[in-house]
Structure 1
């Protein structure tokens, strides 16, 4: 039915493609089928209004669409106008690509042949190393930062930087920094054992060794500080054992320098002696005044016209100098020897023997040490000869300046102070009271022999007073018979 109506209406419909296109138009066929379902009255009355309403709605929709998407329409129109020129250009480029494919294939074959993995290919090896370096750049940067971190830890724990801090904070800071530096150095040495042939690791090890030399210098400077504590001294010696293990046995594997001290004992004593000397050098103003009195005394003894009644007398400045000198010497010498014994001396075997003998048990003798092939004898501990040098330092000063003091009570006070100093060191096995009795004066006047004899009698008198005082103190305290002197 719809086809018949379309044939009837075809001459009256304005179609650019003719009746045939109208018959094949799905919309027209659908509308004709709808018309066949309507009555004649509906077609005459309601259908024109419905068509007018639909046309108006369609017009509004087209207007809204053109307002909303007019830019896209213009762009599409421009592209459509250029499509005629783009298609020939695309065809030409495709032809050029087709002609270049054989050449590209040729280059690919040549590249694969040149950079093949088989055989020795230096270029490929360099590229492979560069790629591996790129993958491990973070690890390498961490390894390269190790010397800088080590140097920072060492420099921040140096005595100059620690001086800016105060008290326990400075000690704890130095301890943590030195521990961090030693951990970093151990890590670098471990890397050296894992990669012994790596030039990068070798360079890092060299830089780390330079930093550890600076740390060794700082530790030695720390041993020279004044009033060092036992804990700080033990920590410093322990760090030195880790930083410079070659000092454990400087003469080689078949030698020894003392009980578990190596060269550290001598180094410790030298540093503490340097601290003592620097402390005594602070008395230089008093020493200059004492030198002036020495000069006046020597000038008075060399003048032939001076008589006994007009001889020089005095020595107050020398007394001040010697009193302060002996005080510092007594305190520092006792501290040096005491610190050394606490750090280096091991008496475990002797203590076991003493405790066993006190309990009445039979003890086996200590095992004999196997003698090693050493052409030289084992060196004695550094403390064996150190007190001799300490005593020589004091006796030289007393021999030079004690004759300036002519007042008897002042001389007895100084000599008593020296005896207290000798007794203080005597508690550690370094009593030198009898050595000081051999002091001689340098006076060359006619009464030199009498003066020398007087000094000997003076020493005897001072020692008798000292022993008498010690006996009284023992009776008061009912303690063991020992010197009552404290350091």
Structure 2
């Protein structure tokens, strides 16, 4: 029925609508027309079609307003569809050709990284992956030398008062070095840890140099000196060890000698500050020598006032510094008698070593460096040579007997000050006089007179205070010592 109606209406349709016969909507509408009455076809059907067309137009307008971007995108895609399909076809063909090559590469990869046997490539890959997982830990290990060097330089820059401040920085540096040594013990075959340990040793050498420099500081106190020596012991423990039966040497070993050398350098630098006074004293010495050569009277040159100032200040500095050096040493490097006996073998020990050497076929010649005395045993002798050389050079310049006795009294108190620490050198001063020198001919008698007066004063003080036995210089150990020649 729909076909007959379409044939009947086709002359009245536009030529472009010839394909409407296959349209399902057209067929459905043609099937509906016979069901309508003639009156409905003439009156209501036109209005219904007009209303449906207007409703569809409004729907299309709303749809285009709401989804125009999708329409534009769809239109563009539809325009590119003609070129996209051939391109997709070419890519599919290329993919089809690459599948065999991909299969070959997969087979080669499988055979290369097979776990059937030991595979060096696979092991290397495992190492790389392990390195990637532990990159943070390795970065921390690599930063250890930098942190250590920063701590050492920061402590050296900020600890200006002989190590009395910023002790925590040095302690942190030593803790870092101990951690690096622990890593080296745990991983002895690791080249990374070995390089880190070498860099840490460089920083430790710099720290040891800074600590040794701190021992040269002025006004070094016992607490600061003990801290510095303790740090040096941790940085360079080999300084405490010396040849012997595996024990620590008496008197601090090489560290004690190093301490005395540093403090002696500080003493010498302090005495060198008296250079202007010493130059004036040298000028008086030259004038005295010229006057003796010309055999002129004693009034032809000055009576040694500049030399007196120089020696007075020299003896004051020497007394204070020498007593401080020896007292600091004894306060830091205190050893028991058992340690001293272990460091210096007795007669039985030497005899036992000789018998062992005779019975052993191996060459067991005793090492002469095993019986080295403590550094403090020879240090006072050097101090005595320092002050006696100065007195022998400049004391003849002083012609005033009262000034000379005042200086000798000051020297006597200096000897008594060191005598309390076992370094009395009062009897050595009797050798200041030279038999061939007329200027020093009466110094021995003056020194004996000063000693006699000092003993008489000490005896009176003992009677007043009821003190105990006297010191080698004749003074009581409990008696008060004058601090200046004026007080004497």
TM over 0.5: yes
- Aligned residue among 169, 179, 185 for 1:177: 169
Q: Encode CA deviations 1:420-478: one digit per residue, 9 max, x unaligned.
A: 11111111121211221221147645xx6xx52x3222112212222333344445555
Give the gaps of 5 or more residues in structure 1.
351-367
**Residues 309-348 of structure 1: matches in 2 within 5 Å?**
312=301, 314-347=303-336
Q: Encode CA deviations 1:97-119: one digit per residue, 9 max, x unaligned.
A: 22321221012112322333444
Deviation for aligned residue 1:234: 0.5
CA–CA distance in structure 1, aligned partners of residues 270 and 30 of structure 2: 121
SS across alignment from 2:371:
coil
- Please say which of residues 327-336 and 82-91 is displaced more in the overlay: 82-91
CA–CA distance in structure 2, aligned partners of residues 80 and 220 of structure 1: 87
SS across alignment from 1:341:
helix
**Match of residue 398 from structure 1:** 391
What is the TM-score normalised by the length of structure 2?
A: 0.79
CA–CA distance in structure 2, aligned partners of residues 19 and 312 of structure 1: 149
**Match of residue 457 from structure 2:** 469
Give the gaps of 5 or more residues in structure 2.
340-347, 357-363, 469-475, 484-488
Q: Encode CA deviations 1:347-392: one digit per residue, 9 max, x unaligned.
A: 5989xxxxxxxxxxxxxxxxx9998889245332211121111111
Report if the CA contact (8 A) 2:284-2:302 is conserved.
no
**Residues 60-99 of structure 1: matches in 2 within 5 Å?**
60-99=58-97
- Aligned residue among 250, 254, 265 for 2:242: 250
- Aligned residue among 133, 136, 139 for 1:135: 133
SS across alignment from 2:165:
helix
CA–CA distance in structure 1, aligned partners of residues 277 and 461 of structure 2: 35
Q: Encode CA deviations 1:44-64: one digit per residue, 9 max, x unaligned.
A: 88x988886665454334223
**Number of residue pairs the alignment of both structures matches:** 443
**Match of residue 472 from structure 2:** none
Deviation for aligned residue 1:131: 3.1
**Match of residue 345 from structure 2:** none
**Match of residue 414 from structure 2:** 421
What is the TM-score normalised by the length of structure 1?
A: 0.79
CA–CA distance in structure 1, aligned partners of residues 26 and 349 of structure 2: 126
SS across alignment from 1:187:
helix
SS across alignment from 1:79:
helix
- Please say which of residues 67-76 and 97-106 is displaced more in the overlay: 67-76
Report if the CA contact (8 A) 1:258-1:379 is conserved.
no
Question: Aligned in 2, Cα 1:282/1:21: closer, same or farther, shift over 3 Å?
Answer: same
Report if the CA contact (8 A) 1:250-1:262 is conserved.
yes
1:298 aligns with 2:289: yes
**Match of residue 102 from structure 2:** 104
CA–CA distance in structure 2, aligned partners of residues 207 and 438 of structure 1: 55
Deviation for aligned residue 1:485: 2.2
Report if the CA contact (8 A) 1:255-1:378 is conserved.
no
CA–CA distance in structure 1, aligned partners of residues 116 and 219 of structure 2: 71
- Aligned residue among 281, 291, 299 for 2:272: 281
CA–CA distance in structure 2, aligned partners of residues 54 and 431 of structure 1: 134
CA–CA distance in structure 1, aligned partners of residues 242 and 58 of structure 2: 106
Name the Cα RMSD after superposition.
3.7
SS across alignment from 1:251:
coil
CA–CA distance in structure 2, aligned partners of residues 237 and 79 of structure 1: 86
**Match of residue 190 from structure 2:** 198
Report if the CA contact (8 A) 1:156-1:177 is conserved.
yes
**Match of residue 359 from structure 2:** none
